[in-house]
Amino acid sequence: MVYGRQPSRRLPAFGGFSSGMAPPRDLIALLVVVFVTFTFQFFAATEGIVALLRLTHRVWSGGFLWQLVTYPVIGAGTPSFWFLIELVILFWFGRDVYYRLGRRSFWRTLFVGTLVAGAVASLTQLVAALLGGGLGAGLAAPIVLLQGQHVLVVLLIAAFAVLFADATIYLFFVVPVRARWFIAIEILLAFLGYLQTKDLAGFLGLCGGVAGVWFFLHGGLRKLARTPREGWLRLQRWWMEQRLRRLRRRRGFTVIPGDRGGGGRGGRGPYVN
């Protein structure tokens, strides 16, 4: 895959290994951790540690809350060429996302997506257990779609699609696709994975993680933080207007309105003459 038409600063060529900028050390460290933990699952001395860090129903049934943030760095799957391909894809997308966001925002984005995805998956399993029957019977089945590099690839592709929405990616080096459509494509692939594995918790977790990344990169948390304050300011303004209205009716005062948006920045509120 390669892409062109960057909407902002010049970045290394997507899909290439040589560029004018060194690969981010944080991203290299992440790849090394995923690879090392992937190999640990095949040794008797370390497979127990890996099992404790993967996302399971023990998050809510046993209080293993650390699994909500540790599962992405625990490599998953079987030894195959596809595992290496996933790491390469993770490097390609992660590099450009890292350069665009910077170190702090890069890790914050991954943390938000990871936490939302894990919470949605765990909640799905909890609801299935409470409902019992056919849904509860699959409780002991592991979450496979959401583990390790699988969720990291999905989250970073979603971040790339948000940050470089107008970039053109040549899928399989042939088919041109706008980056913004990759969110829909990966949700479709996740659904196909659900049809194969019946891993409903993993599928919904991936959808939740993608939504969390999209929401975070669009300033969702900042908007939520502003909403209570803006609501309080509107309530104060409404209360002052009601008081002034009552004063005008009872005492015959004349209310002279100030600039539009009174009470806001640079504006004057109404006053009484």
Dist CA 104 CA 95 (whole Å): 14
Mean pLDDT for 132-149 is 68
Determine which helix (DSSP H) or strand (DSSP E) holds 271, and give its type and residue range.
Answer: strand 271-272
pLDDT, position 232: 64
Task: Point out the least confidently predicted range of 49-63, 108-122, 212-226.
Answer: 212-226
Contact 73, 34 (CB under 8 A): yes
Band of residue 133 on the pLDDT scale cut at 50, 70, 90 = low
pLDDT, position 237: 77
> Rounded to 10 degrees, what is the CA torsion of 36, 42, 44, 50?
50
* Mean pLDDT, the chain, integer: 78
pLDDT, position 97: 92
Q: For residue 144, what are its two tokens?
A: 């496979």
Q: For residue 261, what are its two tokens?
A: 């948006």
Dist CA 59 CA 39 (whole Å): 24
The pTM is what? 0.71
Band of residue 20 on the pLDDT scale cut at 50, 70, 90 = low
pLDDT over threshold 70, residue 88:
yes
Q: What is the DSSP letter of 75?
A: -
pLDDT, position 42: 92
Band of residue 17 on the pLDDT scale cut at 50, 70, 90 = very low
Of 55-59, 114-118, 127-131, where does the model show the most confidence?
114-118
pLDDT, position 31: 94
Dist CA 165 CA 110 (whole Å): 18
Mean pLDDT for 86-114 is 92
pLDDT over threshold 70, residue 218:
yes
Side-chain half-sphere of 232: how many Cα atoms within 13 Å? 5
Phi and psi at residue 178, to the nearest 5°: -65, 140
Question: Which has more pLDDT, 258 or 198?
Answer: 198
